[in-house]
């Protein structure tokens, strides 16, 4: 006999974190089309070719990672949910990953020529160190026999660690009062990723805490080893992107700091000695600054009632 099909009941919540996360994510809903990116054109025209190259290619890299999250990541995690509300939250996350992936194309179409856009996508689809990280994560998502906890680790590492070599650039410019609307998009993405990483990290911890000590240790060993593999690839990726600007060491500090945050989301101890104090203050300022464009919804008329977007602050980043 087949089991009955069960309707989702939001009046009987198994895990309050599902409901709280749904509410937070729907409250902070946004679309790329609402941000007046063309206001950044005068800043963009002042950049030299090396810096323009870095901006366009970090966004190429970020497009690839958000594509992976929207196409494979959430679909893979959805196989292992414990509650029906968790499925609903993952559905929301999956859609927003598509918004993130699309928003870089809005940036490209504003700042770059069609030939430049084509070059960025050719690069993204072939660049060795970028492809390495996407394929390492994808192979975990796509293995039907993979431990569900390892899939959650891969997702948190992607979102709370691997994005940050790319996020560095727009945050750096924001800290210098440049490309404010581009940075606005990145901050909206970062705010989403911070909720995603916290939520998936929480779901990881619930199952992890039920394991016996030897299973826990085994998984920890795998996790730190995997993080180290990703970091070593990320070092190469960062050199390749940033050596021409002289920012490489600063970016590496920033990504080690975020690697520790990914471990924290998973309830684990930090791997690297880097803390917020070691990160370039201009970039930390970019993260925590009140948005320069906080009234941007008023620029698109007053009919925009979908969500209440607040300025991001330190506590959003730290949740
Ligand atoms: Fe994303
Ligand atoms: Fe995400």
SS3 159: helix
Ordered DSSP codes for 266-304: TT---SSS--GGGS-HHHHHHHHSPPTTTTGGGGG-S--
Q: What is the pLDDT of residue 2?
A: 80
Ligand number, closest to the Cα atom of 74: 2
Contact 96, 25 (CB under 8 A): yes
Task: Pick the closest to residue 195 from 2, 22, 12 (CA basis).
Answer: 22
Q: With bands split at pLDDT 50, 70 and 90, how would you rate the model's confidence at 286?
A: confident
pLDDT, one tens digit per residue, over 253-269 is: 999 999 999 999 999 99
Q: What is the pLDDT of residue 284?
A: 86
Q: Provide the token pair at 239.
A: 């050199």
Q: Is 168 a catalytic residue?
A: no
Query: To the nearest 10°, the Cα dihedral for 157, 159, 160, 166?
Result: 110
**Which percentage of the chain shows pLDDT scores above 90?**
86
| Distance in Å, CA 299 to ligand 2 centroid | 27
Q: Given a cut of 60, is residue 316 above it in pLDDT?
A: no
Ligand number, closest to the Cα atom of 193: 2
Q: Provide the token pair at 191.
A: 């705010």
Task: Pick the closest to residue 59 from 189, 231, 157, 200 (CA basis).
Answer: 189
Q: Provide the token pair at 23.
A: 């509410």
What is the C-alpha to C-alpha distance for residues 167 and 284, in angstroms, rounded to an integer? 11
Mean pLDDT, residues 51-57 taken together: 97
Q: What is the pLDDT of residue 161?
A: 96
Q: With bands split at pLDDT 50, 70 and 90, how would you rate the model's confidence at 294?
A: very low
DSSP alpha helix (H) spans, the chain: 16-27, 41-46, 49-68, 74-77, 84-111, 114-124, 128-141, 148-157, 164-175, 180-208, 213-242, 248-265, 281-288, 314-318
Q: Given a cut of 70, is residue 307 above it in pLDDT?
A: no
Q: With bands split at pLDDT 50, 70 and 90, how would you rate the model's confidence at 12?
A: very high
SS3 308: coil
Is the whole model's pTM more than 0.95, yes or no?
A: no
What is the C-alpha to C-alpha distance for residues 210 and 128, in angstroms, rounded to an integer? 38
| Distance in Å, CA 4 to ligand 2 centroid | 33
What is the C-alpha to C-alpha distance for residues 302 and 152, in angstroms, rounded to an integer? 39
What is the chain's length? 319
- Kindly tell me the burial class for residue 145, based on how many C-beta atoms sit within 10 Å of its own C-beta (0-12, 13-18, 19 or more): exposed
Q: With bands split at pLDDT 50, 70 and 90, how would you rate the model's confidence at 315?
A: low
| Distance in Å, CA 192 to ligand 2 centroid | 6
pLDDT, one tens digit per residue, over 39-49 is: 999 999 999 99
Q: Given a cut of 80, is residue 306 above it in pLDDT?
A: no
Report CA Rg, the chain: 20
| Distance in Å, CA 48 to ligand 1 centroid | 29
Q: Provide the token pair at 301.
A: 């008329």
For the beta carbon of residue 181, count every other beta carbon within 10 angstroms.
Answer: 23
Q: 6 — alpha (psi -120 to 50), left (phi > 0) or beta?
A: beta
In sequence order, what are the residues at sequence separation of 6 or more whose Cβ sits closer than 8 angstroms to the Cβ of residue 125?
64, 131
Q: Provide the token pair at 24.
A: 């937070």
Contact 142, 68 (CB under 8 A): no
What's the Cα-to-Cα distance from 174 to each of 25, 81, 278, rounded to whole Å?
A: 24, 38, 19
Distance of CA 219 to the CA centre of its chain: 23
Of 1 and 16, which is predicted with more confidence?
Answer: 16
In sequence order, what are the residues at sequence separation of 6 or more whose Cβ sits closer than 8 angstroms to the Cβ of residue 220?
268
Can you state the angle between helices 213-242 and 148-157, rounded to 10 degrees?
A: 30
Annotated catalytic residue: which of 5, 104, 141, 224?
Answer: 104
| Distance in Å, CA 238 to ligand 1 centroid | 20
Q: Provide the token pair at 150.
A: 């390892």
Q: What is the pLDDT of residue 116?
A: 97
Q: What is the pLDDT of residue 120?
A: 98
| Distance in Å, CA 194 to ligand 1 centroid | 10
pLDDT, one tens digit per residue, over 60-106 is: 999 999 999 999 999 999 999 999 999 999 999 999 999 999 999 99
**CATH fold for domain 16-317:** Ribonucleotide Reductase, subunit A (1.10.620)
Ligand number, closest to the Cα atom of 63: 1
Looking at every residue in the chain, the average pLDDT score rounds to 90
Ligand number, closest to the Cα atom of 102: 1
């Amino acid at each position: 006999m087949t089991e009955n099909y069960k309707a989702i009941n939001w009046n009987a919540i198994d895990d309050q974190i599902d409901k709280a996360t749904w509410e937070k994510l729907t409250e902070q809903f946004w679309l790329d089309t609402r941000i007046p990116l063309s206001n950044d054109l005068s800043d963009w025209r002042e950049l030299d070719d090396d810096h323009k190259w870095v901006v366009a290619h970090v966004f190429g890299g970020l497009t690839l990672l958000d594509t992976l999250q929207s196409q494979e990541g959430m679909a893979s995690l959805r196989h292992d949910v414990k509650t029906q509300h968790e499925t609903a939250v993952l559905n929301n996350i999956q859609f927003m990953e598509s918004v993130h992936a699309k928003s870089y194309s809005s940036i490209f179409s504003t700042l770059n020529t069609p030939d430049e856009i084509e070059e960025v996508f050719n690069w993204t689809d072939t660049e060795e160190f970028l492809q390495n990280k996407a394929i390492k994560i994808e192979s975990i998502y796509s293995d039907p026999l993979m431990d569900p906890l390892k899939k959650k680790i891969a997702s948190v590492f992607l979102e709370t660690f691997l994005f940050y070599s790319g996020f560095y650039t727009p945050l750096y410019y924001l800290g210098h009062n440049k490309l404010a609307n581009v940075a606005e998009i990145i901050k909206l993405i970062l705010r989403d990723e911070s909720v995603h990483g916290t939520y998936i990290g929480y779901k990881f911890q619930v199952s992890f805490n039920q394991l016996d000590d030897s299973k826990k240790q085994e998984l920890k060993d795998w996790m730190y080893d995997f993080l180290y593999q990703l970091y070593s690839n990320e070092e190469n990726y960062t050199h390749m992107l940033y050596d021409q600007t002289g920012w490489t060491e600063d970016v590496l500090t920033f990504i080690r700091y975020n690697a520790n945050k990914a471990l924290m989301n998973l309830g684990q101890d930090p791997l690297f000695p880097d803390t917020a104090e070691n990160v370039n203050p201009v970039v930390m300022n970019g993260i925590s600054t009140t948005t320069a464009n906080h009234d941007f919804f008023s620029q698109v008329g007053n009919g925009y009632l979908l969500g209440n977007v607040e300025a991001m602050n330190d506590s959003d980043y730290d949740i």
